[in-house]
Structure 1
Amino acid sequence: MGKMLAGSTAIVTGAARGIGAAIAGCFARHGANVVLNSRSDSTALKETLAQIERSGGKAITSIGDVADAGYVPSLVATALEHFGTVDILVNNAGVIKDRPLTFLKESEWDEVINTNLKGAYLCSKAAIKPMLQKRAGRIINISSITALSGRPGQTNYGAAKAGLIGFTKSLAREFAGHNVLVNAVVVGVIDTRMTKQIPRDTLKEISKMVPLGRIGTPDEVANVCLFLASDMSSYVTGTTINVSGGGYI
């Protein structure tokens, strides 16, 4: 199989580790130039960049908060300056501040909504401009199974991720006539740094509730994103693809 994203440029937010790093690496292996966004210049981000470069891919980093309206235009400008185009945007950056509603601080609500939902709005608004000029583009929003089924202690996270689904559908209708395709990927329990913090016995019980009997991998999410970013999905927009091992049917 050839490099499906050859010559394209992708911005991946929250690309230092986990799902974001897997998506960035997958895109780079398939020929995309990748802009890796992260809130901090962490060791993890440097390692993601190094891995892409070792495999012969092209990538650069952009450090900043996607919830910062002053920073986001520079993220897109960096992509244009280095690679000349923006073809794909993956809104993956997210934070979790879990707490029962009666104990949830307003600052914790705001941080989750601002990063997970407002960040997607700001990045999409900035990235859509070069896409409209080319009359082509892909926007992929990473949502969560919590948006569909709910989870105690995640009212802020669930609201933000559910908002991403509504955002996806409306944006898809808004720009379909310009050949900018917008889709969402709903992820279930994935083997990331966050799941490693879950006690082993608890994780076993969670796995039993998944019809496939196991948790997913970041690469399995990345493969779906590759489909949505490539020409293989040329007639797919406004949809939500569930990557949860059947965790939500």
Structure 2
Amino acid sequence: MAEAHQEEEVLGKAYDSRLMKRLLAYLVPYKWQTILALVAIVLKAFADVIGPYLTKTAVDKYLASGSAGSRSTLLDPWLSSEPLVGIGQIAAIYVTALLLSFAFEFIQTYFMQWTGQKAMFDLRSEIFRHLQKLHVGFFDRNPVGRLVTRVTTDVDALNEMFTAGVVSIFEDVFVLAGIVVIMLRMKWWLALITFAVLPLIFWATMILSARCTVESRCAMMIDVRPSTIRVRASRTRSSVSVSTLEVASSRMRILG
């Protein structure tokens, strides 16, 4: 086996839209479950944003200094002017939002895990069928450990990306969108001042993302080397065992 193929190669970009489209195609048979999970993500994000705003409403309307009800909020039409009654109403809404957030998170987690397992099973089956059709010379040119990693570890990483990474991204996007809307609705000029740091955050994120990609690839290469050494050691032991067996057989024939 060629030495050039023993080490893990660094191929492709950190993000490839063409490959992403091919991966998302495995979700098409389960599109309704995926859509339901995405809807649950949106509703959960909305429920998560409500909590801090309810706390702000309770403080501004009933607990801040000054006459009760002097500060207007979005919930004024549905809240009582009596402090104790109003705080009780806000507490009831807050608990309801927490329960809804828990329910939506359960729905989203269940359907994303179910969809991810089904999609990855289809992907594993397709990879296995493809390997069965390859010429024997392909397995001579490529380490067995790398091929096994493609079918097992890499597919597990894709499943983690679908069920956790994509979900986190979608949820964070909708939560941030809700926060931005509420901030602009409360005080637009103060919100714009807060948003002034966003370019710096994006710049730092891009640098850290590129650095993490390089470190991840280095860690992958380091992880592959021990498995390669183990494969070579196993082959060496097998060769030694065969040679020892041949010598013993020759001696038996001589003695016999």
Q: TM-score, normalised by structure 1?
A: 0.31
User: Whose helix fraction is larger, Structure 1's or Structure 2's?
Assistant: 2
Q: Which has the higher strand share?
A: 1
Structure possessing the higher relative contact order (Cα contacts under 8 Å, 6 or more residues apart): 2
